[in-house]
Structure 1
Amino acid sequence: MAVTMSRERFEELVADALDSVPEQLLKLLSNVVILVEDDSPDSQRLLGLYEGYALTERGADYGAVLPDRITIFRNPILSICHTEAQVAHEVTVTVVHEIAHHFGIDDARLHQLGWA
């Protein structure tokens, strides 16, 4: 059975996940906003999404652009979890996974590292 959780509580778990990321890495995030949405317009199964230009793709011409977006999707995460502890774990994995994309780490490497 899926977990029922308020948006406010879910956002707190996202904030907790961000707090668990080492400060040295958070300081390297550049021009990124992290958002919570209920669902992805493209997929009911998508847990998170990074949209933007990874740091490894930014050249001298990078500038005057809107922030990259990391979106964490609440309902898909809640639908695969049975407890709040599972939600907290899945949120953390998803946040770390999407931040890794900002640093240019692809899905294949994230799977090798256990952050699928």
Structure 2
Amino acid sequence: MSGDDLFLSEDEFEAAVADALDGIPPQLLRLVDNVAFFVEDEAPPEDPDLLGLYEGTPLTERDLTWAMGSLPDRITIFRRPTLRLCRSRHEVVEEVRITVVHEIAHHFGIDDARLHELGWG
């Protein structure tokens, strides 16, 4: 087992992401439209410390033509950067929760500056 795996295995990390999604209020989660969630081990090489990534068209930028042939938006949570950042299992679970909320907020059109103001940076 590598040092990164000391806090959560791959399965445990995926379960933490699922738990974070389960913690989103149902009335808010119902508004998440056409989004697929993924867990990957490593962030892109150009940003190796990235914890999560939203790729898609935020709800605030969608128009009537958006839905024609659009693939689902994608939210990816990166396991190893999260494990490298945290010092305990509890910190990993909390950081996953924050990252999931942060990336869902991007889907709703909230930018990083506003997320930092709100304490979700």
TM tier, smaller: over 0.9
**Aligned-residue identity in percent:** 58
Instruction: Report the CA distance between 1:70 and its aligned residue.
Output: 0.2
Match of 2:25 in 1: 22
Q: Partner amino acid for 1:62?
A: W
Structure 2: 5+ residue stretches without partners = none
CA distance in 1, matches of 2:86, 2:111: 25
Is 1:71 matched up with 2:76? yes
Query: What TM-score results when the alignment is normalised by the length of structure 2?
Result: 0.92
Residue aligning to 1:40: 43
Give deviations 1:20-43, integer Å, cap 9, x for gaps.
111011100101001000011232
Taking only aligned residues, the RMSD between alpha carbons, in angstroms, comes to 1.2
Q: In 1, Cα distance between the equivalents of 2:94 and 2:40?
A: 18
Deviations 1:76-98 (A, max 9, x none): 00001111100000000000000
Gaps of 5+ in 1: none
Query: Following TM superposition, where does structure 1 have runs of at least 4 consecutive aligned residues deviating by more than 6 angstroms?
Result: none
Moved more, 89-98 or 36-45: 36-45
Q: Count residues in correspondence.
A: 116
Please list, as runs of the form range in 1=range in 2, the aligned pairs for 1:1-116 lying within 5 A after superposition.
4=6, 5-41=8-44, 42-63=46-67, 64-116=69-121
Q: Give the TM-score of the pair, scaled to structure 1.
A: 0.96
